[in-house]
Structure 1
Amino acid sequence: MTPLHGVALTGPVRLRLLVASNPPELVDVDTGARTPVTGLPAGADRPTWVTAVGQDAVITSSCLTCDAGGDVYVLRRGTTVARRIAAGSSVVASPDGRGVWLTRYDGTTCTLQEVALDGQTRTASRPVDCHVVPRAVTGRYLLTGAATGDGALVLTDVQAGSRTTIRRPTAIGDPSDGLASPDNRYLAIAFEHPAWPGPTQRLDLWLLEPASQRWQQAPSMPVPAALKFTAMTWLPDGRLVLLGDFEHVGQAVAVWRPGEDQFGIRTLALPEQRAEAFVVWPS
């Protein structure tokens, strides 16, 4: 397993990152400037998670000392103040970018509901198995898997009503939630192992094409990386962005367009107290 490698990103990158720190911060890749997001509950017991939804972002604020699972907020692009829209967790963006599917946990009962970014209900709440979480949603396909990360990945064709078990491209690591590309052609899925081999953490990034059910491995993969601080997302123009802490590279942002043979990489300083999730916007 070799370190992440590619070509250096030179000149203005013109990207701004929303990083899931406490509180979340907006980071300018070119200048390094960092701006905290306001409007969220404060405290060490309120870790956050961020998800891109259309041109905006949703922030999940968990509560480690509360009976409730957490609260969901929207942050509009170009702003720094978040606004609460619902209670819930396990958020997945709706395919049209105007809402989110979220899971609510109430004791032993779990429900799944779609909520618009203004807080209005889009799809009525329905009971779901507490051990199953949504992994990805595209315009036509829904990918589900066990909440523990092991077991089969199941692809549901919503239009045809069919369900297909997808063979994993690697037996090493647990799959992340899938991230749909802007054109819904690909689902980006990272297979992660916290100790492979020994203390080394392993990141292996793949693209699944739901229509053909074929896998494509990203260049340079697999790589050693700090999984707790490493994540991915898509740019509107179809480029995939990795952000995190990579062995022998350090903190860096890496950009790749499917079909290209290498990543473009730039190192940068990130907030120390952060989760792996982030959102990226052109600046």
Structure 2
Amino acid sequence: MTTADGKQRGVAIVTGASDGIGAELARVFAARGHDLALVARRADRLEALADEIVAQGAERRPLVIALDLCAAGAIEALAKALDEAGARAEILVNNAGFGLVGSVEKLDPAEQLAIIDLNVRALTALTLRFLPSIVACQGAILNVASIAAFMPGPSFAIYYATKAYVLSFSEALTQELSAGGVKVSCLCPGPVETGFQARSGFELKGKLGAARLALVSPAEVARQGYEGLMAGRRVVVPGLMNQIIVLVARFVPRGWLMTLTAAALDKR
């Protein structure tokens, strides 16, 4: 479906939109007048979110595209779905991702590689696939990383490493794309109580002690992420405590940092 003047509808693609920060990001973008394409595996949750957004007054119902971004051909399937809907990517929100807590030696190798597939490969593939459209309309990219990007993560090693990639990739893109009017921001939240914990095997309650002061709600993370992107901020770290953690991580010796992180992630 094209617009009345025959142009394609420009959309903000939000991946991992069925829950947590992704769903809140979709709500924030919709509330600010953006047309959306919601992407995740669970179609029922995406449909419910799309209905909610319409009920809140959106001019158009978001496109609902249910798929597994790690499946073969998923990125092209998404591009085809947008094309068939008469839509083009103006903004890309790379939010989909997961992690697993435990030692690299003991966790299932296939599941660990799946973390890389989603957090790194799919994010990169989505960016490369839709970048021409985003550049053409001087759009924006919001990549969701974590404060984990700033430190090593014993017992969460691969997840932390993937988020370091997301941060580095995002910062490089800000430099490469700024001259063309494209905004790129990396959103780095701290601990947030969402479905992520159930998937990762790490429960926040009773585990982080004083670090629970770093908790920021998914809605607040999404709000700050959106506003940071629109303001052209390279990195957005929601919450004063998380900003302090990131600052301290830059100066604490890596050996000490690993010990502190391992203690925080200890499930025993």
Is the structural similarity TM-score above 0.5? no
Q: TM-score if structure 1 supplies the norm length?
A: 0.30
Q: Which has the higher strand share?
A: 1
